[in-house]
Amino acid sequence: MSFLSAIAVISLVVMFPVLLSLRTTGVPGIARFCAACALAALAASVSLAASVAPAWFHTVGGATLTVAACLLTLKGFREFLGRPPLGIWPVAITLAGLTMVLLFFSYAVESLAARVSVGAGFSSLICLLIGASIVRHWPKERAIAPYMLFCCVTAFAVATLHALRAATVTTGFDAFGSAAEPLWTTAILAARALVMPLFFLGIILMLHGWVIANLRHMIAHDDLTGALSRRAFMTELERIFSAEKASGRQTAFMLLDLDRFKQINDLHGHAGGDVALAHFTRTVRETLAGRGILGRLGGEEFGIAMRGIGRLEAAEIAEAICTAVRTTPASAKGTSIAMTVSIGIAMADPGGSLAEAMVQADVALYEAKAMGRDRLSIAGSLHAASAASARALAGAAAQMRAATAGAIGPARPLSSTG
């Protein structure tokens, strides 16, 4: 089986630089995984020398390196899963105790079966702990779930193979010996040789999945506030609108704008403005409580999309947001930053278009600003229509005055009573 051992060594040696290249990505536990891969490659290399080296060298050296690789892998998974890392002393004591036991059965009481069973038993126990850690602290990222499942299954497979090795040697029925069926023996030996490379392949896939998932999250979210980016928000808004349109239900779209944000920047600096934006986003997200999606459309302008709700419920949520923002000021360097928000609401009907709803929300936001800020305005409502009419009349009157002034001479400033 030296051929299979050589394949295992080559596979682990090839995987090591791949793991090493991930150190710059900041993946939790990557340093432990790199060290574990290197030790696993050394352990597999020791088995290649089994035919020429003394038996104790193979069992003591291989078992110690294998257990060390498993312990480092356990430390890596605990860090990756956000659990408290294993201290250096438990690892050192475990390895020291294992080495002393193996040396005892090499010199004081020479017993190959004892050495094999102790080394395999330690490795099996640690791999069981790895699999149990994955099952107990399953990560929330669904993108890496298939890779985590692969690692979990492989960890239990490694534990099973080592436990089988320890059991067969302890009971005297060595399934790996010549008395066993050749096919069974070959299958078990091949599994033992190749399962560790498969385990580290799963770890590499898991780490790559984590990197890709984090890159997608960074692209889809605003760095400062954590809200969806404009592109991601628009994509999700279109998806929600299409789904609700197929069901014949409305989609509520809100356009939010922090009032007098330039003054916040002028008074508290851009750092204070950043604090205000981040605090505002947290406040809105807590008020929404998962009932909609929040995105930053640009500057101090945000958007909210909610599915399957009516105008009254949308207005209640918007009013709650206004109240929460008004009553929970931000704090920057001990200074309170008061904030208010104006909100324009539009309902995207199944028979209409999303672009129309967005334009209506923009107009409603303008009306909320015109009516004094720190309030909401619903597109198509009575007060919004009245304000729009007044604005249109004022605009028309201004155009008439400008035209008249141009006809009779240079324009003159209007009096306050004009």
Mean pLDDT of 231-259: 93
Residue 68 tokens, joined:
């060390």
Residue 204 banded pLDDT, cuts 50, 70, 90: very high
Percent of the chain with pLDDT over 70: 84
For the cut 90, the answer to whether the pLDDT of residue 285 exceeds it is: yes
Cα dihedral across residues 396, 401, 404, 405: positive or negative: negative
pLDDT score, position 101: 84
Kindly list the distances between the CA atom of residue 201 and the CA atoms of 31, 125, 377, 381, in Å, as whole numbers in the listed order: 16, 21, 56, 60
- Segment 297-312 shows an average pLDDT of 92
What order do you get walking across the sheet with 301-307 strand by strand?
Answer: 293-298, 301-307, 251-258, 341-348, 376-378
Quote the number of domains for the chain: 2
What band does 169 get if pLDDT is binned at 50, 70 and 90? confident
User: Tokens representing 37?
Assistant: 């891969």
- Which of the pair, 125 or 91, is modelled with greater confidence? 125
Neighbours of 39 (CB within 10 A): 21
Sort 150 into a burial class: Cβ within 10 Å, 0-12 / 13-18 / 19+. Answer: middle
Q: Quick check: 171 pLDDT over 80? A: no
Which residues lie closer than 8 Å to 253 by C-beta, 6 or more apart? 237, 303, 304, 305, 345, 346, 347, 348, 354, 357, 358, 361
147 and 255 housed in the same domain: no
Average pLDDT over residues 217-228: 92
Length of the chain: 418
Q: How confident is the model over 2-17, as pLDDT tens digits?
A: 777 888 899 999 999 9
User: Are 243 and 196 members of one domain?
Assistant: no
Residue 325 has pLDDT above 90, yes or no: yes
Please choose, from the candidates 230, 221, 223, the residue with its C-alpha nearest in 3D space to the C-alpha of residue 274.
223
Give yes or no for a contact between 284 and 304, defined as CB atoms under 8 angstroms apart. yes
User: Does the residue 36 lie in any domain?
Assistant: yes
- What pLDDT shows up at residue 182? 53
Task: Indicate the residue among 172, 192, 220 that finishes a domain.
Answer: 220
Contact indicator for 325, 284 with CB cutoff of 8 Å: yes
**Of the ranges 30-34, 114-118, 139-143, 305-309, which one carries the lowest mean pLDDT score?**
139-143
**Residues 185, 37 share a domain:** yes
CATH of the domain at 178: 1.20.1070
d(CA 101, CA 237): 64
Instruction: Give the residue-averaged pLDDT of 174-195.
Output: 61
- Are both 155 and 212 inside the same structural domain? yes
**How far is 384 from 392, CA to CA, in rounded Å?**
12
- Residue 195 has a CB neighbour count (10 Å cut-off) of 19
Say what the pLDDT of residue 193 is.
78
Domain that holds residue 343: 230-404
Per-residue pLDDT at 381: 66
Q: For residue 409, is it within any domain?
A: no
Residue 414 inside a domain? The answer is no
Q: What would the 3-class secondary structure string for 237-259 be?
A: HHHHHHHHHHHCCCEEEEEEEEC
Q: Judging by DSSP bridges, how do beta strands 293-298 and 301-307 pair with one another?
A: antiparallel
- Quick check: 350 pLDDT over 60? yes
Q: Is residue 178 part of a domain?
A: yes
CA angle 197, 11, 37 (to 5 degrees): 60
Asked whether the predicted pLDDT for residue 233 surpasses 80, the reply is yes
**What average pLDDT does the segment 45-67 reach?**
74
Q: What pLDDT is stored for residue 418 in this prediction?
A: 38
What's the confidence (pLDDT) of residue 394?
44
First to last CA, the chain: 101
Same domain, 235 and 337: yes
Q: What is the identity of the amino acid at 333?
A: K
Report the mean per-residue pLDDT for the chain.
Answer: 84
Looking at the structure, do residues 23 and 154 belong to the same domain, yes or no?
A: yes
Q: What is the pTM of this model?
A: 0.72
Question: Is residue 182 domain-shared with residue 70, that is, in the same domain?
Answer: yes
Encode pLDDT of 356-382 as tens digits.
Answer: 999 999 999 999 999 999 999 999 764
Residue 411 maps to a domain: no
Distance CA 298, CA 225 (A): 11
Cα–Cα–Cα angle for 200, 35, 99, rounded to 5 degrees = 105
Question: What pLDDT is recorded for position 177?
Answer: 46
**216 and 242 housed in the same domain:** no
User: Looking at 291-375, which runs of residues are DSSP E strands?
Assistant: 293-298, 301-307, 330-332, 335-337, 341-348
* Domain identity same for 130 and 184: yes
Examine the domain organization and report whether 400 and 301 are in the same domain. yes
**169 within a domain of the structure (yes/no):** yes
Residue where a domain terminates, one of 220, 252, 281 = 220
Q: What are phi and psi of 306, to 5 degrees?
A: -135, 135
For residue 243, what are the CA distances in angstroms to 228, 293, 305? Answer: 19, 15, 13
Q: Which residue has the tokens 């950043």?
A: 274
Residue 93 in domain: yes
pLDDT at 122 over 70: yes
Detail the DSSP E strand segments found in 87-238. none
Domain termination site, one of 220, 253, 281? 220
Considering the domain architecture, whether residues 356 and 382 belong to the same structural domain is answered as yes
Q: Could you tell me the pLDDT band of residue 56, with boundaries at 50, 70 and 90?
A: low
- The CATH number linked to 257 is 3.30.70.270
Same domain, 167 and 270: no
Q: How confident is the model at residue 403 (pLDDT cuts 50, 70, 90)?
A: low
Least confident piece of the model among 57-71, 149-163, 273-287? 57-71
Residue 410 located in a structural domain: no
